[in-house]
Structure 1
Amino acid sequence: MQHKPATLETLQEYQESPLVSRFFCRTCGAHVFAQSKSSGRYFVASGVLVAADTPAVHSIQHWKAGDTGDGGLSAYLPGWPSTDISCRLQAPSGSPESSETGGDAMQKRPVESSDSLQGQNNLQARCHCGGIDFFITPPDASSTQAWSQWSDLLIPFNSGYADLDNKADVKWFLRQGNTKYLAGTCACASCRLHSGFPIQVWAFIPKSNIFNADGSSLTFGHGTMRQYKSSPGVYREFCDHCGATVFWHNDGRPTVIDVSAGLIRGKHARSEELLDWATGRVSFAEMAVQKDLVKLLEEGLQQYAKQH
């Protein structure tokens, strides 16, 4: 878009760098627009578009894929242009403005965390502005005490499976001999409208393995965290400063929390030292608006699994 959206004043602006601003809903955290200051163009988060306004997928480009270390989700979308091109939100490489964008400003902020969480195999999770900062510890004895009904990621809710409530108490969220946590992709309408994007990535973590940066047990509402009740008994947290999606949880299974995997700071983007990614399907794929994109992702996930 070359013109300023009429609804911009109703959104929260977050200036992530001198030349990039993002705009998100103050109530639920959904990202709606981003603006490149160098070009003046506005970009629309496709997850907020209704089906009639959503264009078909003709090609896919992965911006700054090299920064991920492992390709991130681009590894699951083979056969499409994957050149490590510059992000279109930023100024063109080599231009005077590009040197002003700097790196991730959040990375320059000192991390204040408990000594008890340092020097271990814990992973930090942090939003872009640093207002939400917590740690995830590897699975331990407490992890096996958590319970959750089955995730649609593994057993579709429309499958007719008799034990969706997981009365057998299968610890499906623990993987690789209880050394990793399950992570995967979701295309449900609620996640799409909450984040503003057609695909949301979640890691399923027992609450006992999530700690505030000071070493205390996880506290909802800590720092810049804001809660949005997306449906009865269902809660979503986001950062009210930068708009980052943070958690999903509900009253029915309070001991397992969905953590937005993009916040986790592993060795590479997919944090595979602690996360085991589901490749069988995209959760709630049938609810997707951009069905062509989700179909490509599911095919890519399954192809990736065969090759690895």
Structure 2
Amino acid sequence: MPDTNETQELAISCFCGSCKHTFSVPKSSLPIPLHLCNCDISRRISGTLFTSYITVPADSGKPETTKCTQYHSSDILTRHFCSTCGTHMYLEYHHDGHFEAAAGTLQLDKTDGIVEYVDLMWVEDTKDGGASQFVGRVGDKELKRWAQGSGESKELPYDWKDPSATASSDNSPVRAHCHCNGVEFFVQRPSEKSKLARSGYADLIVPCMDPANEEKVKNKENEAWWLPNPERFLVGLCTCRSCRAALGFDVMSWAFIPKCDVTLDAEGKKPFIESPYWGKIKIYHSSEGVTRSFCGGCGAVVFWDGDEREGLIDVATALLDAPEGTRAESLLCWRTARVSFAEDAVNLGLLAGLETGMKAWAEKNEGRKCVSSGTLAGL
């Protein structure tokens, strides 16, 4: 048995509790360095902007994966996600059989001091820099941006962009899909009918956990907050417990899109359906009135749907395949004044880095339509 004075026990779990594992690491190895991966595969299998994993020591035993779905995302490794709730749990490498666990599955109130985010890799896959421009520093560490693998590829500047990444000139719909293409849909451009949805304010706009906002959050006048300007849908980051547990990673990115603008074909003739959903979509009721959906083939998070909303749904941002890049700036407007449910974040260093980094990005891009002005709801 490991000496508890010299080791730190770490427990991991999916959202529903079907998939669990416990292992120990030497305290001398803390904090464990983590990379934020921006590669196409990571984004398409998760639905979020970047992923990160912790190596599971070989002497802790092989994790139990019978309640996981396996997905062979490449010749290098197999991914495992919970078959019930969709939480991404493990990477299993083919060359030596070692496992890595998704960092967001750690069962800790806070992970600062346990893990340390050190850099961003595979930034070139984003075309526009993606989330690497949202977080430049965590704690006292400046994060390097690597074109491909960490420390073994070209280091990229903050404002790197692929010269070929340009927005469509005809305002055509944007295709969205997971890695295995078991889920595919299209997001049409906003129109007058996009205003017809009804919803209270998202926590991204009005902090709903603050008792002082109890009435304001109801949005009685039904301000179309999901349309910060006539040409774009609102998008932001979330660090709530439920999103972290369902995803398996610390940060989720959601775009708020009326269901009338989500179609199954590019022409917009096949409307959004949910009874039942289409393709390989599976659902998990994470709480009363909330339905989360994910691809049963590769595990990608797809939608968050709440009964209290009428005609509005959260779409996993990283599934969008916009020609200009991961941030889909011709379709989305990024809310940078707040990270949603910041009070639930378990890594305060990463949270602070995102809060500071997104505001800096907004200042650098002030006046562009892809940046939220911060005037919604008087905030």
Q: Normalization by structure 1: what TM-score?
A: 0.85
Which among 93, 104, 111 is matched to residue 47 of structure 1? 104
> Aligned partners of 1:8, 1:224: CA distance in 2, in Å?
21
**Residue number in structure 2 paired with 1:231:** 287
Structure 2 counterpart of 1:71, one-letter code: G
> Aligned partners of 2:116, 2:250: CA distance in 1, in Å?
16
**CA deviation after TM superposition for structure 1 residue 233, in Å:** 1.0
**CA deviation after TM superposition for structure 1 residue 19, in Å:** 1.2
**Residue number in structure 2 paired with 1:83:** 145
SS of the counterpart of 1:296? Answer: helix
**Residue number in structure 2 paired with 1:114:** none
**Residue number in structure 1 paired with 2:377:** none
Which among 307, 316, 337 is matched to residue 251 of structure 1? 307
**Residue number in structure 2 paired with 1:71:** 129
Q: Normalization by structure 2: what TM-score?
A: 0.70
> Aligned partners of 1:78, 1:128: CA distance in 2, in Å?
27
**CA deviation after TM superposition for structure 1 residue 219, in Å:** 1.7
CA gap of 1:260–1:73, structure 2 versus 1, over 3 A, is: same
Is the 8 Å Cα contact of residues 74 and 82 (structure 1) preserved in structure 2?
no
Which among 208, 231, 236 is matched to residue 157 of structure 1? 208
The list of structure 1 runs, each at least 4 consecutive aligned residues, that deviate by more than 6 angstroms after superposition, is none
**CA deviation after TM superposition for structure 1 residue 299, in Å:** 1.2
SS of the counterpart of 2:218? Answer: coil
- The aligned length equals 279
**CA deviation after TM superposition for structure 1 residue 7, in Å:** 1.6
SS of the counterpart of 2:119? Answer: coil
Of 254-263 and 29-38, the range deviating more from structure 2: 29-38
Is the 8 Å Cα contact of residues 247 and 259 (structure 1) preserved in structure 2?
yes
Is the 8 Å Cα contact of residues 29 and 194 (structure 1) preserved in structure 2?
yes
> Aligned partners of 1:272, 1:120: CA distance in 2, in Å?
12
Of 213-222 and 11-20, the range deviating more from structure 2: 213-222
Which among 92, 95, 104 is matched to residue 35 of structure 1? 92
Which among 320, 334, 338 is matched to residue 264 of structure 1? 320
Structure 1 counterpart of 2:199, one-letter code: S
**CA deviation after TM superposition for structure 1 residue 43, in Å:** 1.7
> Aligned partners of 1:38, 1:85: CA distance in 2, in Å?
24
Of 29-38 and 141-150, the range deviating more from structure 2: 29-38
Which among 342, 350, 363 is matched to residue 293 of structure 1? 350
> Aligned partners of 1:165, 1:5: CA distance in 2, in Å?
48
SS of the counterpart of 1:17? Answer: coil
Structure 1 counterpart of 2:182, one-letter code: G
> Aligned partners of 1:121, 1:226: CA distance in 2, in Å?
28
> Aligned partners of 2:200, 2:110: CA distance in 1, in Å?
35
Equivalences for residues 119-130 of structure 1 within 5 A:
121-130=172-181
> Aligned partners of 2:70, 2:316: CA distance in 1, in Å?
21
> Aligned partners of 2:307, 2:109: CA distance in 1, in Å?
34
Structure 2 counterpart of 1:29, one-letter code: G
**CA offsets 1:50-81 (integer angstroms, 9 cap, x no match):** 11683535343112011101111111111423
> Aligned partners of 2:187, 2:241: CA distance in 1, in Å?
27
Unaligned runs of 5+ in 1: 94-118
**CA offsets 1:104-127 (integer angstroms, 9 cap, x no match):** xxxxxxxxxxxxxxx751000101
Indicate whether 1:219 and 2:273 are aligned: yes
- The root-mean-square deviation of aligned C-alpha atoms, in Å, is 1.9
**Residue number in structure 2 paired with 1:142:** 193
Indicate whether 1:62 and 2:120 are aligned: yes
**Residue number in structure 2 paired with 1:241:** 297
> Aligned partners of 1:52, 1:166: CA distance in 2, in Å?
32
SS of the counterpart of 2:362? Answer: helix
> Aligned partners of 2:304, 2:117: CA distance in 1, in Å?
31
Percent of aligned pairs sharing the same letter: 34
